Structure 1
Amino acid sequence: MKNITYNSIIIAVCLSLSACAPKRYYTDNNITTRPLASGTSTQTRVSAAVEEWRNSGVKVSAGQNYRVSAKGQWRTYPTCNFTGPDGIGLYKAWCDNSPLFPPIIDGYSHSTLIAKIGEQGKPFVVGSDVTFTASENGPLMFRTNDVINGNHDNEGYVDVEIAFADSNPAIASPNPAMITLPPGTQQLSASLPTVQPMSNAAIDAIGTIPLRRTALLIGNSAYAFSPLKNPVNDAKAMADSLSRLGFEVTLLLDGNQEQMEAAIDKFGRQMSAGKLVGLFYFAGHGVQVDGSNYLIPTDAVIKRQSDVRYKAVNIGQVLGAMEGEDNLQIVILDACRDNPLPRSFRNAGRGLAKIDGPKGTIIGFATSPGSVAADGEDDNGIYTKHLLNHMQVPGLTIEEVFKRVLQGVNQETGGQQIPWMESSFTGNFLFIP
């Protein structure tokens, strides 16, 4: 009765003010789910403080494409920042991404909007906007990504709209020259390094690749506490090379934390379509703390070891974003320069820690776990220089590319730097067939 009276008041006020038709929000889980009617959409309100999954009232159909968009403000602890449904910018001092309170989907903040189909469905990330193909029939349900049984002290809500997608998730062949940049990033320019042109046969072969290729590249040089010479050059060179190899490239240079997390979130929405080759490349400072690896944004001010968790980007966030059905995830980390953190940080180790990626993942490190890599005296870092050379060789599998890079770097550094690779990919991938 309380809900009916409240809604009646809202409707009366709306009609008296502007004769408008109120949006229909489902806020009660004891509702009948129905398929969307053609040309319509449905709205639901998801509260951060509600523990149960929110039934949207929409029954999705397997194989049908849907678009979900959301807006609003919420936070998952009183000392945290308010965020939108993408969850970006939640953590700050006294609001730590603690492993004691794990989110439902690892690699995304606790205030990210997530969904599932039916009570037993596998949760997936929605954020502010996502297009997906339903894997099964059932009610579409929403929740914050907060730890189970941890929602009681949350605040705020987001409004979610569900509609049919206009078309299937994009699977068209990319334009090799297309480079998209998030707001505030630096455009590619004519100053990119010159790469030897490929033969017509090699270019024709790229056109036969069955999977769409997409890449996110981040190069951070302009650190206030410990600037680096080559990461921006390295990321530019990789962008030029990968665009020639058929990748849709997003390039972020000297990214702060907000820009990095936004770019990773957007990259993850692309990867969620499935059947993609996704490549993530980072050059800059990277550290390990308590066995977890973090990529350091240029604006990070790290005074205490605990600062790392909420002022840097956990590599787990990248790996989680890249997962999708039948995806190949390639992660390349030229991020093992000398540890920029104070020596008093007892649990901050040298280099990066070993990473166990999900199925279908290949991870290339500039040097072996626990070691550091040289920034390089030339225009590119030693590791990226060799990687650029061998990616252009036709007929090499990606494992063969990394092996040749290892041999070249090992020889050039006299054994001081030994690149490393981890793989759970059982197929074959060639940059140039």
Structure 2
Amino acid sequence: MKIRFLFLLALLVSLVPTAPSLAAGDRYALVIGNAKYPDADAPLKEPLNDARDVADELKRDGFSVEIGENLTGDGMRRAFDKLYGKIKPGSVALVFFSGFGIQSARQSYMLPIDAQIWTESDVRRDGFSLEAVLGELNTRGAGVKIALIDASRRNPFERRFRSFSAGLTPVIAPNGTLVMYSAALASVVSDAGGEHSLFVQELLKEIRVPDLMAEETLNRTKMGVTRASRGEQVPWISSSLAEDFSFIPGAGGSRPTMAPPPAPPRRHPSSPITRRRHHRRRHHRLRRRSRPTRQPHRRPRPSRPHHRSPRSRPPYPRRRRR
């Protein structure tokens, strides 16, 4: 009875799900959609819808979300400061930006709608460096830092001081960071003009798939965008995550696992009949071990005259002496 109780107790303990390393309440997200740039020929059609639907999805996944639309430089600065103030050690911090982006001095910048850019130095003055944002989140103690940047668009600013569209550049991010651009490095894409950009369309589809780690979710998004664009748009991913993280809480590594049941202890004989059988078998085993091993009988070989082996004979016959 006691053994059965211990076995059931071990089975129940193995079925208890392990607590996820990052609680849902420690997830914070800042979602920005900038569409109305005065210097652009027309407002962008996709960023606002993209930001709203991404924010709704992140809320369903347990994130505390702040959303900003058509933010100026001061508005973006306040939004980032508010995000920094929420971060606690071990928190998850996610930044989604849809709008115009530009690179300068090997850094990628997110642009507010009131950016006044005529030279490359204006980029560093009015833009928000993605590398600086991730560095500040890391300084505040964020355990997982995620940046989803849909800003690889042809913008109206580069042509003022540059003869080509340079796209975005790799980001030097701290450990525990996952970064994804909507297009390859140093490349730009045109908006499709639909409700969502191709990047966000595939992201929303894959982020809803359960039991996926964040890296796998973004890799599936990358493959979906590449297939849908026939290779013309290939998102860029960089990861230095040091722990498992899933957009859907409780998925992947935090799922309960069935531990193998413990082996039941060996029972000792209890009844008199069982004891007699046990002693009788033990007695027979000891008798078999104590018997001398018998050697097989061999007949003696008949004696034979000694013959020299060929090697013992001299190589040549001896000559007789006269």
Identify whether the pair has TM-score above 0.5, normalized to the shorter chain: yes
Greater CA deviation, 405-414 or 322-331? 322-331
Equivalent residues in 2 for 1:71-82 (5 A)? none
Contact 1:289 1:349 (8 Å CA) reproduced: no
Aligned to 1:396: 212
User: Is structure 2 residue 52 aligned with structure 1 residue 236?
Assistant: yes
Aligned to 2:73: 257
Aligned to 2:262: none
Distance in 2, Cα, partners of 1:235 & 1:229: 12
Aligned to 2:254: none
Aligned to 1:213: 27
Aligned to 1:359: 175
Alignment partner of 1:426 out of 242, 253, 265: 242
Contact 1:289 1:348 (8 Å CA) reproduced: no
Distance in 2, Cα, partners of 1:215 & 1:352: 22
Contact 1:339 1:351 (8 Å CA) reproduced: no
Alignment partner of 1:380 out of 196, 203, 214: 196
Distance in 2, Cα, partners of 1:405 & 1:294: 23
Alpha-carbon offset, residue 270 of structure 1: 1.4
Q: Summarize deviations over 1:354-380 as a string: whole Å, max 9, x none.
A: 112101100011011101133223211
When you count strand as a share of all residues, which structure comes out higher? Answer: 1
Contact 1:356 1:422 (8 Å CA) reproduced: no
Q: Summarize deviations over 1:246-287 as a string: whole Å, max 9, x none.
A: 00000000000000011111111212x211111100000000
SS at match of 1:333: strand
Q: Which runs of 5+ in 1 are unaligned?
A: 1-204
Q: Which stretches of structure 1, 4 residues or more, deviate above 3 A after TM superposition?
A: 207-210, 346-349
Task: Decide whether aligned partners of structure 1 residues 347 and 361 sit closer, same or farther in structure 2, where only a CA change above 3 A counts.
Answer: farther
When you count helix as a share of all residues, which structure comes out higher? Answer: 2
Alignment partner of 1:270 out of 77, 86, 101: 86
Aligned to 2:309: none
Q: Which runs of 5+ in 2 are unaligned?
A: 1-16, 252-322
Distance in 2, Cα, partners of 1:382 & 1:231: 12
What amino acid is aligned across from residue 185 of structure 2 in structure 1?
A: P
Provide the alpha-carbon RMSD of the alignment. 1.9
Distance in 1, Cα, partners of 2:197 & 2:180: 15
Aligned to 1:317: 132
Highest relative contact order (Cα 8 Å, sep 6+), 1 or 2?
Answer: 2
Equivalent residues in 2 for 1:149-168 (5 A)? none
Alpha-carbon offset, residue 326 of structure 1: 5.6
SS at match of 2:159: coil
Distance in 1, Cα, partners of 2:160 & 2:74: 27
Q: Summarize deviations over 1:307-345 as a string: whole Å, max 9, x none.
A: 111122122231123114361000110011113224242
- Say which one has the larger Rg: 2
Q: Summarize deviations over 1:287-310 as a string: whole Å, max 9, x none.
A: 001212111101112222221111
Using structure 1 for the length normalisation, give the TM-score: 0.50
Distance in 1, Cα, partners of 2:142 & 2:120: 37
